[in-house]
Amino acid sequence: MADPVIRCRNVWKAFGPDPAGHVRAVEGGAPLNADGHVVAVRDVSLEVRRGEMLVVMGLSGSGKSTLVRCLSRLIDVTGGQITIEGQDIGALSERDLIALRRRKMGMVFQSFGLLPNRTVLENVAFPLEMRGQERGARIARARAMLELVGLAEREDYYPRELSGGQQQRVGIARSLAIEPEIWFLDEPFSALDPLIRKEMQDEFLRLKALSERAIVFITHDFDEALRLADRIAIMKDGAIEQCDTADRIVLDPATEYVARFTAGVDRARVVHAGALIQPLNGVAVEGPPVASGDTIRVLARRLIEDERGLIPVADASGRVVGALQRKAALDLLVGEAP
C-alpha cells in the first residue's frame, strides 16, 4: 500500500496565554478548557492516501475547521506533527510553505477570500498568475473553470456584485484552476442551492475518479458525506471519536457519541452488501450474485423476492467474494422480527 500523502500524528491545537503549557497540563489530567485556554484539536492522528477523500464531520465547535487549517498550516499546531508526502510542514520556512501550497494544494473555505478589486475571471486566474503562468493560458483555464461552475456569464463582475452562492462557486473554480494534488475543503457547498450543490458533488466525484488527489472535505451534511467519502472522521471536543468507512460507523459505532450522531441514519441506505458478506468456506452458493457496492436499500426488491438464504456477492470485476445472509440484510432493511 502506498505511503500516506497526509499524515497527522498526535496533533494538538490550543488557544490562550500559554497553549503549550496548557496542553501538557491537559495530558496530565487537567480540565480541557480552563484558565483562558481553549483546546480546539485534541491528540488527533490520521492519514489520507492518494485517491482518497476523507470527510470530517462534527457539530459546530467540534474542531473540524481548525483541524483542516492545521493540516494546511494556515495555523501552527501546538503539539504533534503533520507531514505532507513525508515532509514535516511545521519545519518549512515561510517561502517553502508558500511554494508547497502553490505547487500542490487547493483550498476552499467558507470565507471565500475573493479579491474585491479583481473581476471574477481575474480571481479565478490569480493562483495561476502567482505560479507565473502565461496570461493567455491562465485566462483560458479560468474561463473553462467558470463554465464548469455555471458562471461563464459573470466573468466581468466583481465579487460584491455576486450572491453568496455565486461567490462560493468562484472560490471553487479558483481552487479547481490549479488542479491540486491535495485539496482542503471546508463546507465548500454550504451556500449553494440544492441543484447546484448536487452538480458540484457530481463534478467532485468525476474529478476524483480522473486523478489521484488526496482530499480532506468538511461537511455537517451526512447525506453529502455518504455520497463523497471513502472514509468519515467524526469529531467531538477536538478529538476524533471514530474514523472509518460509513458502513463500519453505522454498523459498529466506536463510542456512544458516534452511535447518537448516526442514530437517525437509514442504515439500509448506508450499508453496502460487501459490508455484510461472510466467507463461503467451500459452500456452493448458486444463482446470480449481487454487487458488493450496492446498498441494502438498492437491493431491497431483490432481497424481498429472492428466497435463497445465502446470496452470492461479487466484487467490481464480477468475482464472487462471499455470501450475503438474506435474513441479516432484511433485518437491516425492515427491522428485526419480534
d(CA 89, CA 82): 6
Q: Say what the pLDDT of residue 194 is.
A: 84
Q: Which fold has domain 48-266?
A: Rossmann fold (3.40.50)
pLDDT at residue 317 in the model? 93
Domain boundaries, the chain: 48-266, 268-334
**Sheet containing 214-218, strands listed edge to edge, beginning at the edge strand earlier in sequence:** 105-108, 182-186, 214-218, 53-57, 231-236, 239-244
Contact 145, 188 (CB under 8 A): no
**Backbone phi, then psi, for 44, in 5-degree steps?**
-90, 130
Take residue 75 and report the three cell numbers written for it.
Answer: 495555523
- Specify the pLDDT at position 209: 78
Beta pairing, strands 6-15 & 79-84: antiparallel
- Return the pLDDT at 130: 87
Residues 6+ away with beta carbon under 8 Å from 210: none
pLDDT for the residue numbered 176 = 84
Model pTM? 0.87
Which CATH number applies to 268-334: 3.10.580.10, 1.10.760.10, 3.40.50.1820, 3.40.50.620? 3.10.580.10
Give residue 49's pLDDT: 94
Q: What is the pLDDT of residue 135?
A: 94
Encode the chain (338 residues) as per-residue pLDDT tens digits: 567 999 999 999 999 999 999 999 999 999 989 889 999 999 999 999 999 999 999 998 999 999 999 999 999 999 999 999 999 999 999 999 999 988 889 888 876 789 999 999 999 999 999 888 999 999 999 999 999 888 999 999 999 999 888 888 898 889 888 888 899 999 888 777 888 888 878 877 877 777 788 999 999 888 899 889 999 999 999 999 999 999 999 999 999 999 999 988 899 999 999 999 998 887 788 889 999 999 999 999 989 888 888 999 999 999 999 999 999 999 988 876 55
Distances (CA, A) of 41 to 76, 81, 88, 258, 313: 12, 13, 18, 18, 41
Q: Are 294 and 280 in contact (CB under 8 A)?
A: no
